[in-house]
Amino acid sequence: MTRIAIIIGSTRPNRIAPTVANWVLENTQGRNDAEYELVDIADFNLPLLDEGLPPAMGQYTKEHTEVWAEKIASFDGFIFVTPEYNHSVPAALKNAVDFLYAEWNNKAIGFISYGSAGGTRAVEAWRLIAAELQMADVRAQVFLPFQTDFKGMDDFQPTAGATDALQLVFDQVVAWADALKTLRA
């Protein structure tokens, strides 16, 4: 069965990301096209990148990197739940991504983003990063502006349009994840 990670992309105290990620996971109920799993980068306690060799060499020396690599390698595709920090990607998620290389290659990725502009600028940056990691980013995305999908910036209340758009993200990520399995074989 195709395995898709829903990655919680923030480690900030009082973060909204787990609430958004749980909404994403709840919306997988009734789907039988893949196994979906929440992966919280905060659970891996990754320091700032501390491997001596470039990740593309695949010669990890730290236990935390090996644990992280094993987890990411077990998936066929990813849905990043990403905030937008200062018009770009959150540092904690970028750091977690930068630890690895081959584990991301030839896998599908979709984005659920939030922020003052719905996180769209973060997703623009993520698409460039995904290309360098040989990931197939899907066109569909869900962007959640604070003005429409949150009350007071911390009470998450997604609109019907956001929920509808989420299904298209699932469809595209699973389709691409399935198609890319032949490249990884």
CATH number, domain with residue 38: 3.40.50.360
Query: Hey, what are 5's tokens?
Result: 């990670």
- pLDDT averaged over the chain? 97
Q: What's the domain range around 89?
A: 3-184
- pLDDT for residue 120: 97
> What is the per-residue pLDDT across 103-157, written as a single tens digit (0 to 9) for each?
999 999 999 999 999 999 999 999 999 999 999 999 999 999 999 999 987 899 9
Residue 77 scores a pLDDT above 80: yes
Buried b / exposed e along 139-155 (16+ C-beta atoms within 10 A): ebbbbbbbeebbeeeee
Residues whose CB falls within 8 Å of the CB of residue 51, separated by 6 or more in sequence, listed in order: 60, 61, 62, 65, 99
Q: What is the pLDDT of residues 84-110, one digit of tens each?
A: 999 999 999 999 999 999 999 999 999
How many separate domains does the chain show?
A: 1
CA-nearest of 24, 17, 58, 59 to 40 is: 17
CB 39 within 8 A of CB 17: no
pLDDT at residue 154 in the model: 82
Neighbouring C-alpha atoms within 13 Å toward the C-beta of 136: 18
